[in-house]
Amino acid sequence: MRLADYLDKGASLGPSAPCLTTAGISLSYATVQELSWRIARALDRSGVRPGEKVAILSGNDPIAFACVFGVSRAGAVWCPVNPRNAAAENRDQLDLFDCTCLIFQSSFAPLVEKIRPELPKLKTVVCLDDGSFEGWLGDAEPWEAPPVDDVVMLVGTGGTTGKPKGVVLTGHNIETMTALTLMSYPFEGRPKYLALAPLTHAAGVLCFPVMTLGGEIVVMPSPDLTEFIDLVERNRITHAFLPPTLIYLLLDNITLDAADLSSLQCLWYGAAPMSTARLKEAIERIGPVLGQLFGQSEAPMMISTLAPADHFDADGTLAVSRFASAGKPTPLTQVAIVGSDGRFLERGARGEIVVRGPLVMAGYYRDPAATAAVSRDGWHHTGDVGYLDRDNYLYIVDRLKDMIISGGFNVYSAEVEQALMSHPAVRDCAVVGLPHEKWGEQVTAVVQFHSGRGVAAAELREFAKDLLGSVKAPKEVLVWPDLPRSKVGKVLKGEVKARLLTPPATGGASRGSAPPRSA
């Protein structure tokens, strides 16, 4: 399937049904379909040929998302650009992807003006909302260009492990992801999906399974959790996605307990580890609708799933022991655990999580060496350390690069973070290994407390020691007002470690002091 096929499927179930809604104003499936034809013709008239790369730089906006389907009809490749990136990051991504066309919102005009002279391959630039867009559009007759291959998306890896790479996703990848979503989670009736998180990431590709059922996508231009609660209640939202950091803020929102969220069928969470204590709280306060997903840009969204029902045992009690898992591998995906020597490990043994199947990307764009390195032995190597238990639940214990070796023992930072976050005063934390003369690396934790709460560092160390033992417990606990985060809310442990290692004289944070609150 091409991306436009998801829109057409929804239109076939009711062209007058609402498709994209924001601020109470809806575009019907027929309207979005017509707009996609006009965009496709305009791209063709502008010289964009099938197979060429079209970037879209916008906040959450219905017209910008409608452009995705116009790009698809033109036979071109959608390149989502994160609007929160710095100018240099976006310039590098557009150059890396060989983008020939950029569609953008006027609020990003200064950024576009800054980077355009450095992008000679960029021959077409279109602004969505400065009055010129309507004049650029073509006519509304049905039209499509034949694609040159099955590539539908190029996605940036984010660059947390070095220079960003371009993940090549095919129509078959997205079709697999869509099928796995529909078979793994509850969908009753015509869904209403609330998109608060950026449509350039997980929140965007989750629109495709919703469209196959003719569902409505309610787009939030900015992440306001009070408005999120109000929209769920007022619009009878059935599905939504939030990363754990936003779920924590949702739980802290004073309007939550008075709201009627009974329409929710599934509130997806993923993209980062979630505190099991806060997950339990979320289920108790929001309802039995929390559903986990685990994936990567290279294998989008659905490597494994933990459906709402899987959060409960057969007798109806909360399956708390399962909350730390990432669920079970999905039906169309093979998951295995391998050791450092490449051999497959038995159940319960910890090693790198490897994946294969139609969910896995076609490769990295114009980077055969990186593709070969991550695809050795016929499996995609995720870079995550984990294990499969006897019931086939997948547990992710760390990133390979974040594992700490202290006194000859492997200490998984994610395991220590889960222990610390089970303390009621801890809102979030990061655990890193710092150089130590005796142990090689010292387990060090930086915590962020809930507002109005706080305990002594020594108490937290003892708390973790009781849960983990002396080897894994942090030898040092520091308190910062906030933690550095990525554009999608993930804690940047590399930046935490860099700050801790930077001497105070050069402007960095010492172990005994907090850095400035991150933006």
312 shares its domain with 339: no
Q: Are residues 393 and 425 in the same domain?
A: no
Over residues 299-326, the mean pLDDT reads 95
Phi, psi (degrees; rounded to nearest 5) at 379: -125, 145
Contact (Cβ atoms closer than 8 angstroms) between residue 217 and residue 207: yes
CB 190, CB 176: distance < 8 Å: no
Residue 515 lies in a domain: no
Q: Distance of CA 44 to CAs 50, 57, 137, 144, 435, Å?
A: 9, 20, 10, 10, 57
Are 511 and 478 spatial neighbours (Cβ–Cβ below 8 Å)?
yes
Confidence of residue 412 (pLDDT cuts 50, 70, 90): confident
In a domain, 23, yes or no: yes
**Residue 490 and residue 477 in contact, taking contact as beta carbons nearer than 8 Å:** no
- Cα separation of 317 and 328, whole Å? 19
Residue 504 pLDDT grade (very low, low, confident, very high; cuts 50, 70, 90): low
In a domain, 512, yes or no: no
N- to C-terminal Cα distance for the chain? 40
Residue 459: give its domain's CATH number.
Answer: 3.30.300.30
Does residue 514 register a pLDDT over 70?
no
Give per-residue pLDDT as tens, 148-202: 999 999 999 864 445 779 999 999 999 999 999 999 999 999 999 999 988 888 8
**Does residue 90 belong to any structural domain of this protein?**
yes
Q: For 94-111, write each residue's pLDDT tens digit.
A: 999 999 999 999 999 999
Token pair 């962020």 in the structure block, residue: 448
Q: What is residue 39's three-state secondary structure? A: helix
Q: How many domains does the chain have?
A: 3
CA distances from 49 to 71, 141, 325, 481 (A): 10, 19, 45, 50
Q: Which amino acid is at 506?
A: T
Residue 327 included in any domain: no
Percent of the chain with pLDDT over 90: 73
Contacts by 110-114, CB closer than 8 A, 24 or more apart: 111/57, 111/87, 112/57, 114/87
Two structure tokens written together for 6: 């998801």
Residue corresponding to tokens 């309610």: 218
Pairing of strands 216-219, 18-22: parallel
Average pLDDT of every residue of the chain: 91
pLDDT of residue 162: 52
Verify that 387 and 313 share a domain, yes or no. Answer: no
Last-in-domain residue among 356, 377, 399: 399
pLDDT surpasses 80 at 488:
no
Rg of the chain over all Cα atoms, to the nearest angstrom = 23
Q: Kindly state whether residues 252 and 350 are assigned to the same domain.
A: no
pLDDT score for 261? 97
Side chain identity at residue 285, one-letter code: R
Helix 29-45 to helix 62-73 angle, to the nearest 10 degrees? 60
Mean pLDDT of 480-485: 90
CATH number of the domain bearing residue 356: 2.30.38.10
Determine which helix (DSSP H) or strand (DSSP E) holds 355, and give its type and residue range.
Answer: strand 351-356
CB atoms within 10 A of CB 254: 7
Residue 516, in any domain of the structure: no
pLDDT of residue 512: 42
What does the pLDDT read at residue 397? 85
Identify the CATH number of the domain in which residue 59 sits: 3.40.50.12780
Check pLDDT > 80 for residue 335.
yes
Question: What was the pLDDT predicted at 379?
Answer: 97
185 lies in the same domain as 235: yes
| Residue 132, pLDDT above cutoff 70 | yes
Q: Is the pLDDT of residue 369 over 70?
A: yes
Q: 22 and 36 in one domain?
A: yes
Among 322, 350, 378, where does a domain finish?
322
The helix/strand count (H/E) of the chain reads as: 16, 25
Burial pattern 22-56, b for ≥16 Cβ within 10 A else e, equals: beeebbbbebbbbbbbbbbbbbbebebebebbbbb
**Higher pLDDT pick, 383 / 505:** 383
Strand 363-364 with 394-399, pairing = unpaired
Maximum distance among all alpha carbons in the chain?
73
The DSSP line for 128-187 is: SSSS-HHHH----S---PPPSSSEEEEEE--STTSS--EEEEEHHHHHHHHHHHHHHS--
Packed helices 3-12 and 62-73: angle between N→C axes, nearest 10 degrees: 110
Shared domain for 170 and 232, answered yes or no, is yes
Amino acid letter at 308?
Answer: P
Residue 457 identity: A
The mean pLDDT value for 116-134 works out to: 95
For residue 392 the two structure tokens come to 């086939």
What percent of the chain has a predicted confidence (pLDDT) above 70? 95
- The confidence score (pLDDT) of residue 366 equals 95
Residue 344 lies in a domain: yes
Q: Residue 351 pairs with which residues in a beta bridge?
A: 386
User: Which domain does 348 fall in, by range?
Assistant: 332-399
Residue 160 has a pLDDT of: 43
191 and 303 in a common domain: yes
Q: Is residue 518 part of a domain?
A: no
Q: What is the pLDDT of residue 65?
A: 96
Element (H, E) at 42: helix 29-45
Whether 291 shows a pLDDT value over 80: the answer reads yes
352, pLDDT greater than 50: yes
Q: What is the pLDDT of residue 245?
A: 82
Final residue belonging to a domain, choices 399, 433, 448: 399
Q: What is the per-residue pLDDT for 511?
A: 52
Give the DSSP per-residue string, 449-515: EPTT----HHHHHHHHHHHH-TTTS-SEEEE-SS--B-TTS-B-HHHHHHHHHS-GGGT---TTSPP
What average pLDDT score do residues 4-15 get?
98
Q: Which two tokens stand for residue 45?
A: 């008239």
Q: What is the reported pLDDT for 158?
A: 60
Residues 414, 392 share a domain: no
What pLDDT is attached to residue 368?
96
Is 276 found in the same domain as 200? yes
Q: Are residues 383 and 420 in the same domain?
A: no
User: Can you give the pLDDT at residue 513?
Assistant: 42
Same domain flag for 86 and 156:
yes
Question: What is the spatial distance between Cα 500 and Cα 510, in angstroms, rounded to a whole number?
Answer: 6
